[in-house]
Amino acid sequence: MRNIKNITLLLLTLLLLYGCKHPKTDTEGPAQKKATQVPELPFLLEGDYTPDIGVTYKVIIGDDTCFVVIDSMTSEQMYGHYYQLQSGSDCVERKEFRKDLHWKQQRQDALVYIYQAPEYHQADDSAYRYPRHAINVTHDVEYGQALGYWSSMPNTEDESYLEILSEGLKNSILKTTQTLTMDIYRPSDSNDSQPRPLMMLMHGGGFYVGDKQDSLITGLCTHFARLGYVTVSINYRLGFLPTKGEIARTGYMALQDAHAAMRYLVEHATTYGIDTSLIFVGGASAGSITALNLAFMRDKDRPKAVYSSRLRDMGTIASSGNSSAATFHIKAVANMWGAITNLNMLKNSHTDIISFHGDADQVVPYDNGYPFNDISAKLGQRMFDRMYGSVQIDKRARELGLRSVFYPFSSQGHSLHHYSDGSWNQQNFEFIRNKMTEFFHEEIVGKQPAIEDDRNDTRHYLVAGDHLSNISWKVEGGFITKLSADGSEIWVVWDNQSKKHQLRVSGLNARHYGFEATKTINTNNND
């Protein structure tokens, strides 16, 4: 009997709305934990009202809230349902009603609104996530000159180690001045003046062979340029005489050339539309070793062979290639089956790392050891320093608080973009490309906001993040009872008969990139 009276009095309150020409539209107002209790008031038959069918009304009497919907009407009856707050619950319970159309009621102090959920605007979060740009490529841009044996040896994939070394030894008699070049890939949008992230990539080849037109590198350059990056593939000095010191010096020359290339790009950032706060590097095998050294090695970490030798001192990292004095910070590195000789140098820079490596790699150590075990373990120890592969890099990076993501490939060897017979492995290539896309997108946009609960108020949710803007919410299976002025906070009650309770929020983050977050809510009252 008590429930019937409550229904009747809620509907009486609702009918106050029908006598108003301009009901309010609102998503504000408190929602209390206790069940809705509307005071009993006498009423007399009075007048005719025409309610709106299908409209949700929010009725507030004192601290109580109720949502009422008129589903249909006849000449004598109206039918509908309302949602009453359940005591001690975050849910509202749906109840049906049927009442006569003619009412007279003593007016009481009630607020009646047309309930309308805020309009949801999905932010554009596609920047640097999806390939949407046409591109153009500028080939053979000179970034420096330096003394060396050669800076390109392409088309060696079908040759044996012996054939490659034989050809190389013929060219290792005398060093000559090498012109160092790069290919630059850029989005061709003519009306887009926004500076873009830079990604510089380096081919592999054991510091002996390879070229900037390497298929893995050009594939990645093309992909990331289509995403919106400025991407660059460089040639660097190659070749060495077969001694341990010479090999170390050649690796250092590659680092010097990569440093010169990056200085050139930073100095010409305006020309190429580069955002110098978003610089990324990467490479495969020897190119990855060079990328890691570029990010983390400092002059104090130079290998002994470059300055303690009967040969000339090779100078500092930044002393070769060109005269540019530009400085830079590398935000993140893509390590594709690479390694380093000194784990301690990871302390030198707050640079994040994504790594890919096959656990059966016999060319560059997966964990730690000596290179080229596929030829001879003794040769590796005699010709190279101990190297620390992706397992150790990832472990040490995490210990230092760097963001490090590592993808090991079970039972796979070197050059993951190729099968063991040398043919192209499209599946691995796409996996690496897609994981790099996700990783670097997160580096660009920063930590994405998330929806968080309020432990002190289970109806209260907020989107966490600094300097958010253009925030909008969407609620599935519930009602918004309150929204903060800046849109970052929301109060919700859930329909206990709804099969899905979900929150969705969208907006712009601190860097003005679009974000969207979702949260599925588990309630104890959802049967």
* N-to-C CA span, the chain: 26
Looking at the structure, tell me whether residues 78 and 186 fall in a common domain: no
How far apart are alpha carbons 221 and 427 in whole angstroms? 18
Q: Are residues 472 and 417 in the same domain?
A: no
- φ/ψ of 419, rounded to 5, equals -75, 170
In-domain check, residue 166: no
Token look-up 């290179």 returns: 371
What pTM was estimated for this model as a whole? 0.79
Q: Which two tokens stand for residue 355?
A: 């790594």
Residue 191 forms part of a structural domain: yes
Q: How many domains does the chain have?
A: 3
Residue 271 falls within a domain, yes or no? yes
Looking at the fold, whether 356 and 261 belong to one and the same domain comes out as yes
Residues 269 and 337 in one domain: yes
292 and 410 fall within a common domain = yes
The residues, ordered by sequence, that sit 6+ positions from 215 with a Cβ below 8 Å of its Cβ are 417, 424
CATH code, domain carrying 346: 3.40.50.1820
Q: Are residues 481 and 370 located together in one domain of the fold?
A: no
Same domain, 406 and 283: yes
Residue 420 lies in a domain: yes
For residues 496 and 407, membership in a common domain is answered with no
**Last-in-domain residue among 394, 426, 445:** 445
Q: 355 with 455, same domain?
A: no
How is residue 489 written in tokens?
């906070």
Q: What is the DSSP string of 419-480?
A: -TTS-B-HHHHHHHHHHHHHHHHHHHH-SPPEEEEETTEEEEEEEE-SS-EEEEEEEESEEE
* DSSP track, 496-517: TT-S--EEEEEEE-TTS-EEEE
Q: Which two tokens stand for residue 386?
A: 């101990």
Q: Assign 140 to helix, strand or coil.
A: strand
Helix (H/G/I), strand (E/B), else coil: 41? coil
**148 belongs to a structural domain:** no
Residue with tokens 């893995």: 216
What does DSSP assign to residue 299?
A: G
3-state class (DSSP) for residue 314? coil
Q: Which domain holds residue 85?
A: 2-115
- The secondary structure element, H or E, covering residue 178 is strand 176-187
Q: Are residues 392 and 495 in the same domain?
A: no
Q: Sort residue 155 into left (φ over 0), alpha (ψ -120 to 50) or beta.
A: left
Is-contact 290 256, C-beta < 8 A? no
Look up residue 250 and give its DSSP letter: H
125 found inside a domain: no
Residue 412's identity, in one-letter code, is Q
The one-digit pLDDT tens for each residue of the chain (527 residues) are 444 444 444 444 444 344 333 445 555 544 444 444 433 322 222 334 456 788 887 777 666 677 888 888 777 777 888 887 766 678 888 888 776 655 434 434 556 677 888 899 998 888 899 999 999 999 999 999 999 999 998 866 555 556 666 666 666 678 899 999 999 999 997 556 789 999 999 999 999 999 999 999 999 999 999 999 999 999 999 999 888 888 999 999 999 999 999 999 999 999 999 999 999 999 999 999 999 999 999 999 999 999 876 778 899 999 999 999 999 999 999 999 999 999 999 999 999 999 999 999 999 999 999 988 766 667 767 788 899 999 999 999 999 999 999 999 999 999 999 999 989 999 999 999 999 999 999 999 988 899 999 988 888 999 988 889 999 999 999 999 889 999 999 999 899 889 999 999 999 988 888 999 999 998 764 44
Identify whether 165 is part of a domain.
no
Is residue 492 domain-shared with residue 368, that is, in the same domain? Answer: no
Q: Enter the tokens of residue 409.
A: 């490939």
DSSP string for 334-379: EEES--BS-GGGGGG---EEEEEEETT-SSS-SSEE-S-TTT-HHH
Domain stop point among 445, 468, 484: 445
Q: Which of 413, 445, 477 is the last residue of a domain?
A: 445
Of 215, 205, 221, the residue nearest 150 (C-alpha): 205
Q: Are residues 264 and 244 in the same domain?
A: yes
Is residue 6, in this structure, part of any structural domain at all? yes
- Of the candidates 23, 7, 19, the one whose C-alpha atom is nearest the C-alpha of residue 104 is 19
Q: Is 160 exposed, middle or buried (0-12, 13-18, 19+ CB in 10 A)?
A: exposed
